[in-house]
Structure formats: structure tokens, C-alpha cells
Amino acid sequence: MRRWVLFFPIILTIALSTGCAPRKALLLGEDFSSPGRALAKLQERNEATGALQGVSTLMAVTSEMRYTVKMALFAERPCFLRIEEMPLFGLPDLYLSANRRQLKVFFPKEGKFYVGKPTGRNLSKFLPWGVEVEDFLALLFGMPPPRIAGAERTEGRVDDDLYRVDAFGGDRKIGSLWIDPLDHRLVRTEILSEKGDVLCDARLDSYGPAGDAIIPTELTLNFLRPQKTEVIIRHGSMEIVPVEDDDLFDLEIPSGITPLQLDPGPREEIRVDPGHETP
């Protein structure tokens, strides 16, 4: 009896120090037997239908500046986006829409309207991030970017207390993602460029309800090029709503305004910085 009394505190200490490790091991065995199964489970837990609607705060930080804006956001996967920048008073300073065919941006105070292809390169001329629209929207919903979810080949392994999936296109690595095995939520994603550099390191935090969906209410995007930039998007109240008007994601060109083309050619390329100093 005395020997059991001596060993009981040791057993209790070991049990407490291991915490929830046995639970994670069990979940990894059932739902993370392969990267394909892990990705499928991730998709199952958040199949929201409709558009994400709400008000968000965007903060961008570089070595040279720091600014914060509030924006009304409407987003529907896979590639439909509308953003209206909200000043303290008056009309929005910026309207942006993106769909499968076009990206449109309107600066009402300047009377300038831009039209181009819905590429990450064009999007980065107006917003402080350079990822493709489809990848950005997937992250908004807490889902893996399409280039990773649809990769030719994936490899999975345990990385600390998370499950990591590396995605490959041929022999080239194109990205990675990390899933919390306790709640099957995406917590981090790396998107790589064609050269293998980290294009974007995204962190997804503070998951909360938006209608029937559970989405990250805080999204942090870290970019190293063309300059080191951190973008933090925090959502206020968000909801999933049905989309009854496709024109929501297709800005109408105001009467009397001639749109400026974003894809006229390499020598005539238009560049608009986040401060809205349009040419």
C-alpha cells in the first residue's frame, strides 16, 4: 500500500503532462490517415452555400507605412468578391468587384474606373495583397486554396501538434497547410511562387459562426515581396446570405466615364498603390 502511495503522484504527473496527446493520436488515426482524407474532412466541416457578408477592418503594415480602413465585404466562392471602402463620412472611397471574367475598380471621388482580368497581379494594384481571388476567398472561408486542394500530389505528416499537408505540382512544391486535428480547422497556409519562394504565409485565427458556417474572424497575410507587408483582416458581425443579383459582383460603369484598361500591354501597365494615387 505504501509503495502505491509513493508511485501515485508520479503517475498523476505523467498523465497531466501528456495533456490531450492521446486524443490527438486517436484523431490522427481516424481522420488523418492520408492527406486526401484530411482535406476531405476539412471540406466537410464548412460547406457554406451563399455569400459572406459583413463589415471588416483591414490593417496593412510595411516598413514605410501603416494604415487601417473599414470595408463592407461580400464574398462568394469560388471567385466572386465585392469590397466597398467605408470612410467616416460620405460615399465609399473605393468600389471593387471581381467575378470569373473581370476585375472592376471605381474611385468615385477621382472619377476613375479600371477594368481588367481578375488576376492576383491586378488585384494587388488596389489592395495590399497579391494572391489570386480564388485563393483569397478560400482563406476567408477557412478553406485551403484551390491550388493546394487540387494539387497533383500531396504528402501529409505530423508537425508539432498539427497535421501538415505539402502540395506538389509535378516535382515542384506549390504550398503547404496546417490543420488542427482537434477541431479539423485550417490554422495556417503557405502559398509558394513558381520559383519556390513563399508568396504568402496566411494565419487563420479566432473561428466563429457566420450563419451555418464557422469561419476565421481574423486572417493575417504575410508577404515578403515586392516588400515585406503584413495584412490583418478582422471581421465584425458576419453572416451567410443568398445571392439573388449577380450584378453585385459586376460594377456598372457610370455614365460619362471611360474605363481604363489594366491589361493594355507590358509597356503601358497601370500601377495603383494602396494609397489610391491613381495615374
The DSSP secondary structure of 20-36, one letter per residue, reads THHHHHHHHHHH-SSHH
Pairing assessment for the beta strands 172-180 and 185-192 based on DSSP bridges: antiparallel
Question: What does the block give as the cell for 246?
Answer: 449577380
Q: Structural domain boundaries of the chain?
A: 41-268
Helices 35-44 and 21-31 sit at what angle, rounded to 10 degrees? Answer: 100
Q: To the nearest 5 percent, what fractions of the chain are helix, strand and coil? A: 20, 40, 35
pLDDT of residue 31: 75
Q: Is 17 exposed, middle or buried (0-12, 13-18, 19+ CB in 10 A)?
A: exposed
**In whole angstroms, what is the distance from residue 35 CA to residue 156 CA?**
5
Question: pLDDT digit of tens for each residue in the chain (279 aa)?
Answer: 444 444 334 333 434 444 444 444 444 656 788 898 888 888 877 666 789 999 999 999 988 889 899 999 999 999 999 999 988 777 788 999 999 999 999 999 899 999 999 999 999 999 888 789 999 999 999 999 998 988 999 999 999 899 999 999 988 999 999 999 888 899 999 999 888 889 899 999 999 988 778 899 999 999 987 778 999 999 988 898 888 777 899 999 999 999 999 997 654 444 444 444 433
Can you give the pTM of this predicted structure?
0.81
**In whole angstroms, what is the distance from residue 279 CA to residue 273 CA?**
10
pLDDT of residue 7: 37
Grid-cell match 486535428, residue found? 181
pLDDT of residue 231: 94
Q: Supply the CATH classification number for the domain 41-268.
A: 2.50.20.10
pLDDT of residue 4: 40
